[in-house]
Amino acid sequence: MQLSRDELLGAYRRMATIRAFEERLHDEIAKGEIAGFTHLYAGQEAAAVGVCDHLSDDDFIVSTHRGHGHCLAKGVDVKGMMAEIYGRATGTCKGKGGSMHIADVHKGMLGANGIVGAGAPQALGAALAAKANGRGQVGLSFSGDGACNQGTTFEAMNMAVVTKAPVIFVFENNHYSEHTGPAYATATVTDIAGRAEAFGIKAWRANGCDYFDTFETMREVLDYVRAGNGPAAVELDTERFFGHFEGDPQRYRGPGEVDRIRAERDCLQAFRQRVTEASLLDHGDLDAVDAEVLRLIDEAVDEARAAPVPTPEMVLEDVYISY
């Protein structure tokens, strides 16, 4: 199915926004201005956008510690996120969550999560809610090749089959669980989707560095799940351009590895090449998007820096609705 010019420009804009957001954070964090742990999503943009382009605000996703891309792809406000990461009162979470805990339930984004593997049961729960609602909503968990080794993930996959829940387990295999490779840490090494199949879940595999491959695969997946067939699983092969967290010296990387994956597996470059070769868009169109995105990120950083910090009284707020 051919995407329209607007759809293509939109997909590129969403991916470029994530890239610019993360590249800028990389620079700002190096200056020491941002506190805490930050895990950047750059390199995996096609996965988040290729998946979320099939979802509406009425569908639910749960994310991971590497969640900026999922949040942005699901429509969470760029400036609110930037302010949150800067620890400002105007942030998405008023400065109480930071990079790892951005959520916007009104966008169906039920939260990034600092605990690896915690999200899968929550996506299942959202799917059970969706099933009870009967409106064709889905729950979807993003997790990495690290979370595929957590017991919670297995519990959720089994219970999803048992309850025939409309839940999609998306495994983004970026070949690193923190600082460890799947060749060591994952018993099935190159195959995560096969684990889901072992639970009786229908599984798909796609190139998570290729927007079009991810997007077309997810169309099938969503059709299958929305039709009431129960859970599905998707393994997306993708790449992490930065370290596990910002400041990770990445001494585990091979020589020239980052240069190679940036040259060969950059989803933005692949998208650009594909749409310009097919004459769907020209370079000028894409350059204009790039410029517009950089302006937006500049504004977001400037506004975050200028935004008020939380007041000490805010420590006490939002623990309970009433107590």
Q: Give the footprint of other proteins on residues 129-158 (CB under 8 A).
A: 129-132, 134, 139, 151-152, 155-156, 158
Does the footprint of other proteins cover residue 124 (CB under 8 A)? Answer: yes
d(CA 104, CA 67): 12
CB of 237 to other proteins, least distance (A): 26
Q: Which residue of 135, 184, 284, 312 would you call a contact of other proteins, by CB under 8 A?
A: 312
CB of 267 to other proteins, least distance (A): 20
**Closest by CA position to 171, among listed 131, 133, 130, 217:** 217
Taking only Cα atoms into account, the Rg of the chain, rounded to an integer number of angstroms, comes to 19
Q: Which residue of 10, 75, 114, 136 would you call a contact of other proteins, by CB under 8 A?
A: 114
**Closest by CA position to 10, among listed 295, 249, 280:** 280
Rank residues 13 and 107 by Cβ distance to other proteins and give the closer one.
Answer: 107
Does the footprint of other proteins cover residue 126 (CB under 8 A)? Answer: yes
> Using an 8 Å Cβ cutoff, are 267 and 261 in contact?
no
As given in the structure block, the two tokens for residue 301 are: 């950083």
d(CA 50, CA 34): 29
Site for other proteins in 48-67 (CB under 8 A): 60, 62
> Using an 8 Å Cβ cutoff, are 68 and 18 in contact?
yes
d(CA 49, CA 46): 5
Does the footprint of other proteins cover residue 229 (CB under 8 A)? Answer: no
Q: Which residue of 7, 36, 188, 260 would you call a contact of other proteins, by CB under 8 A?
A: 36
Site for other proteins in 235-254 (CB under 8 A): 245-249, 251
Token pair 């099939």: residue:
54
d(CA 46, CA 266): 9
Rank residues 90 and 207 by Cβ distance to other proteins and give the closer one.
Answer: 90
Please, how many CA atoms are within 13 Å of residue 5, restricted to the half-sphere of its CB? Answer: 7
Residues 6+ apart with CB under 8 A from 55: 61, 74, 108, 138, 140, 222
Does the footprint of other proteins cover residue 30 (CB under 8 A)? Answer: yes
Stretch that binds other proteins, among 48-56, 189-197, 274-282, 313-321 (CB under 8 A): 313-321
Does the footprint of other proteins cover residue 81 (CB under 8 A)? Answer: no
Tell me the CA end-to-end span of the chain in Å, nearest whole number.
53
Does the footprint of other proteins cover residue 96 (CB under 8 A)? Answer: yes
Q: Which residue of 15, 71, 159, 168 would you call a contact of other proteins, by CB under 8 A?
A: 159
Q: Which residue of 44, 64, 122, 186 would you call a contact of other proteins, by CB under 8 A?
A: 122
CA 252 from chain centre, in angstroms, equals 24
Binding mask 262-291 for other proteins (x = CB under 8 A): ------------------------------
Q: Which residue of 91, 144, 208, 230 would you call a contact of other proteins, by CB under 8 A?
A: 91
CB of 177 to other proteins, least distance (A): 18
Does the footprint of other proteins cover residue 120 (CB under 8 A)? Answer: yes
CA 54 from chain centre, in angstroms, equals 14
